[in-house]
Structure 1
Amino acid sequence: MVPPVPSRARYLPTPGSALSQSSRAFGNRLQWFFGGDRRRPLPPPLRLVVGLGLLAVVGTLVLMLPGIGRGDPLSWNEALFTAMSALSVTGLSTIVAAEDLTLLGQIVLLILIQIGGVGFMVLAVVVFQLIGRRISLLNRLALCNSLGLIDPGAILELTRRVLLGVTLIELGGALLLWVHWRDLYGPGRAVFLAIFHAVSAFCNAGFDLFGREGIPTDGLSLAILAGLIFIGGLGIPVLSDLLTWPRGHRPSLHTRITLGVVVVLLCTGGIGLFLGESLPGGSLLEVSWPRRLGLTFFQSVSARTAGFAGIPIEDLTPASQLLLMALMFIGAAPASMGGGMTTGTLAVLVLALWGYARGLPSAQIAGRSLDPSMVRKAAAVLTVSLFVVLLAAWLILLTHSNSRLDPVLFEVISAFATCGLSTGFTGELNWFGQLIIVLVMFWGRLGALTIVLALAQQQPRPLVTYPEESILIG
């Protein structure tokens, strides 16, 4: 008697079948796309750069198709700007998604946001596994870089957990928003609104479908959106740590530092905005203090790369706008949906400064010493980030003769931090300025070290050590 064929094997193509050949050909193309030639494999940072660039090209072409834009199709610069803003989960836009995109266009925008938030390398790994391809070591390393992780050992299992966790969190947020919005916008329309804004909030994208009137600012809507933004900005390692914490696992040093920095930034931003908008000339002077507190703390959460404006940004005082620029520049946690310099970089720099002031041989915290290479990386990230922001702002000011410094700098920092908050200057950009912002969003999504490592050829360890000599600093 012939034994029954296992259920899984029934669906596997035979080696010589057309399905097997087409699957193999498709897999080879994907392997080339993400892995390069086996004889000359692309290094992991370069894979991320090339992958995001190709996705931006595909997204631009799709957004230019008929039926995506209302009336005339989107122009190339509008499509490119929107595609890069979605893939980099920024939210800056030269169009109004609620007015200039059809339902199909809004669905395409939602897909681009989801791909940008989860990470295209995660998507590539899922496709590889679906078609039965082996995940090479270089692809695992690229996935580690994409997720901001260190150890590639259990990366595939973590990838599955990431996808499952993202799906559950976004569905939970969408359900809460639908329950709250169904009476306001109708049960049918509220379904798509809830899904879109749950994904946009968790991915820290900042796109909304409420047009020029802005997102709902009632307390429950702001609380749900703020919760999604906060969770999305913590980072994959922190979320994984918190999920295993109740089972006896002690949170890592990274998790404890991240939570501490996030709480400090949240309180500093909320209290600072509350004070700035409560003084004479503030935009919330006539608002009751409980609602004022809710709006300012929501804006503090959103400023760290989410991009939802609970308060019109152009109405804020200069002091509040400066505080928002600082929060945006710092950004979210490493390996999160957000961008910016990251809270990890800030923590390492502060610890290094404190250790130097105390005369310690290295940065120390909680009975642990930080590797000196981490301090060098953090200093490199800060230096390169400042250089990119200043260069981009200078180029825009150079090509927009009637522009002022503060809105230009705000726009550039928002793009660099993949935040999406804007004072309204986006609509005044010419095609060159739009291209500069696109490049800054591209840079901000991948991070300074990824870009530098992709462009720079790694030098072998030097065999000669030169004598030291001091120069004056400070």
Structure 2
Amino acid sequence: MRLSPRSSVRSSYRPRPMPAALRLVIGLAILVTVGTLTLMLPWMGAQRPLTWNEALFTAVSALSVTGLSIITPVSDLSLAGQIVLLLLIQIGGVGFMVMAVIVFQLLGRRITLTDRLALTDSMGLLVPGAIVQLVRRVLLTVLLIETIGAALLWIHWRDMLGPERALLYAIFHSVSAFCNAGFDLFSGLPQHPYGIPNDSTSLAILGTLIFLGGLGIPVLAELLTFWRIRFSLHTRITLTVVLTLVSIGAGGLFLTEQQPGHPLANESLERQIALALFQSISTRTAGFSAFQPLDELSPAGRLLTIVLMFIGCAPASMGGGITTGTFAVLMLAVGAYARGLASPQIGGRTLAPQTVRKAAAILTVSLLVVLTATWLILITHEASLDDALFEVVSAFATCGLSLQLTGELNLFGQLVICVMMFWGRLGALTLVVALAHQRPQLVTYPEEQVLIG
């Protein structure tokens, strides 16, 4: 039996695979929907079921590992609700594509090339080589670090909270700190009205977890095998930029917050250093505050905090922001232009022009989105510019720090912040690529100069 030409064409037709960026957007949207519906179940609330906007805001904040909240988890969520919140934070932190790959393997399903490409994008990696093996190591590493952190917190908090309650709090805050989420179960308690305990031991454990979670998967993988390999250029740049930003942030906050009426005014020198160091680490997308209350920050401290949040953590990490990689590439490009070099150079290597263009695109899109969202908050709320900008950048950078504006947002403001958290978790270019219809360039036009500067 011979097939007609039309039948042959129809039988050979294969639908085009969904782009990896679009798969990430849809996947996160589905998780947000499932998380919202789950949190709306009657037994998830402590005294009453959560409203749809409370559930939506909490689900987006948890899955984007931000920490901004319009509810108080310790009093508004039941034990079941707190456990669901913990699971959403964990899924959001390690990445839903990582969880999907683990589930596929448990079910015996083959990981397709499209899945590998989507996973590579979600983890911020350059090539999909050996991605499944990397996923296993990532998951084991994450669980090991969180377990060690939880054990140390339980030992430290068991006398203060009791063994059973301390176990829940230790696990919750270890996951929240490593995933750079910023959710806590202390806010609202009479003895901790401003959030986490800010004693030196608690801050040391939580600060270490936040720092490790903000380094990124490729950097952690190299640090765990430092005796076998030479650090890549990415790892060297990341460690240099992260340590520099932490030092600048700690030094800046130490100088600006010692005046009367500001967070460090009544602390000893040792405590001032410890609090400023932790706040600098946490500011770059963790969301825990050692400055209690945070709204006593000086104007200079607020500006420094906004800048640190906007830069954020390393690529392929638990945090957000434009990332330290983008910041480093832009600084190198400026330095190369000032020295008259054709391309940025560092460590005996030249950065590709595409890398510089990508960094410039990320910065441009991020600034436009942040400014637009800030304007929308300002025209719909009676808020000052610094409060609105602080809140928007915190959401964009998936940080979670707030100057008490979150609880005062109306429904429109809550939706704006939800969009910013969603955008910040996926990254500027992921959403742009997912929403844009890209076409190959078929025509090249002659060059012409345009005045700039």
Alignment TM-score, normalising by the size of structure 2: 0.95
The yes-or-no answer on 1:343 pairing with 2:304 is no
For 1:366-389, what per-residue CA distance to the aligned partner results, in whole angstroms no more than 9, with x for missing partners? 110000000000000000000000
- Are the counterparts in 2 of residues 198 and 228 from structure 1 also a CA contact under 8 Å? yes
The equivalent residue for 1:456 is 436
Aligned partner of 2:287 among 301, 304, 307: 307
The equivalent residue for 1:6 is none
For 1:53 and 1:322, the matched residues in 2 are separated by 32
The yes-or-no answer on 1:361 pairing with 2:342 is yes
Specify the SS of the correspondent of 1:150.
coil
- Are the counterparts in 1 of residues 263 and 294 from structure 2 also a CA contact under 8 Å? no
The equivalent residue for 1:236 is 217
The equivalent residue for 2:9 is none
The equivalent residue for 1:472 is 451
Shift of 1:286: 1.7
Shift of 1:461: 3.2
Specify the SS of the correspondent of 2:17.
coil
The equivalent residue for 2:264 is 284
Shift of 1:153: 1.4
The equivalent residue for 1:112 is 88
Aligned partner of 1:204 among 167, 180, 187: 180
Query: Which residues of structure 2 form unaligned runs of 5+?
Result: 1-12
Specify the SS of the correspondent of 1:245.
coil
The equivalent residue for 1:178 is 154
For 1:416 and 1:89, the matched residues in 2 are separated by 11
The yes-or-no answer on 1:58 pairing with 2:34 is yes
The equivalent residue for 2:52 is 76
The yes-or-no answer on 1:146 pairing with 2:122 is yes
The equivalent residue for 1:94 is 70
- Are the counterparts in 2 of residues 99 and 211 from structure 1 also a CA contact under 8 Å? no
Aligned partner of 1:433 among 398, 413, 435: 413
- Are the counterparts in 1 of residues 20 and 117 from structure 2 also a CA contact under 8 Å? yes
Amino acid at match of 1:73: P
The equivalent residue for 2:387 is 407
Shift of 1:215: 0.4
Amino acid at match of 1:72: R
Shift of 1:38: 6.2
For 1:211 and 1:325, the matched residues in 2 are separated by 23
For 1:409-456, what per-residue CA distance to the aligned partner results, in whole angstroms no more than 9, with x for missing partners? 100000000000000000110000000000000000000010011011
Shift of 1:276: 0.3
In the comparison of the two structures, how many residue pairs are matched? 435
For 1:316 and 1:99, the matched residues in 2 are separated by 27
The equivalent residue for 2:365 is 384
For 2:359 and 2:16, the matched residues in 1 are separated by 30
Alignment TM-score, normalising by the size of structure 1: 0.91
Aligned partner of 2:309 among 320, 328, 348: 328
For 1:412 and 1:327, the matched residues in 2 are separated by 13
The equivalent residue for 2:7 is none
For 2:340 and 2:261, the matched residues in 1 are separated by 45
The yes-or-no answer on 1:263 pairing with 2:263 is no
- Are the counterparts in 2 of residues 313 and 321 from structure 1 also a CA contact under 8 Å? no
Aligned partner of 2:427 among 444, 447, 452: 447
Amino acid at match of 1:394: W
Shift of 1:282: 2.9
- Are the counterparts in 1 of residues 254 and 276 from structure 2 also a CA contact under 8 Å? yes
Give the percent of matched residue pairs that are identical in Structure 1 and Structure 2: 66
For 1:194 and 1:416, the matched residues in 2 are separated by 27
Shift of 1:332: 0.2
For 1:288-339, what per-residue CA distance to the aligned partner results, in whole angstroms no more than 9, with x for missing partners? 1110110011000000000001112201111101100000000000000000
The equivalent residue for 2:6 is none
Amino acid at match of 1:144: T
Shift of 1:281: 4.4
For 1:142-187, what per-residue CA distance to the aligned partner results, in whole angstroms no more than 9, with x for missing partners? 0000100111110000000001000000000000000111111111
Shift of 1:70: 1.4
For 2:28 and 2:103, the matched residues in 1 are separated by 16
- Are the counterparts in 2 of residues 385 and 448 from structure 1 also a CA contact under 8 Å? yes
The equivalent residue for 2:226 is 245
For 1:94 and 1:104, the matched residues in 2 are separated by 19
Shift of 1:218: 0.6
The equivalent residue for 2:5 is none
For 1:200-233, what per-residue CA distance to the aligned partner results, in whole angstroms no more than 9, with x for missing partners? 0000000000023210111010000000000000
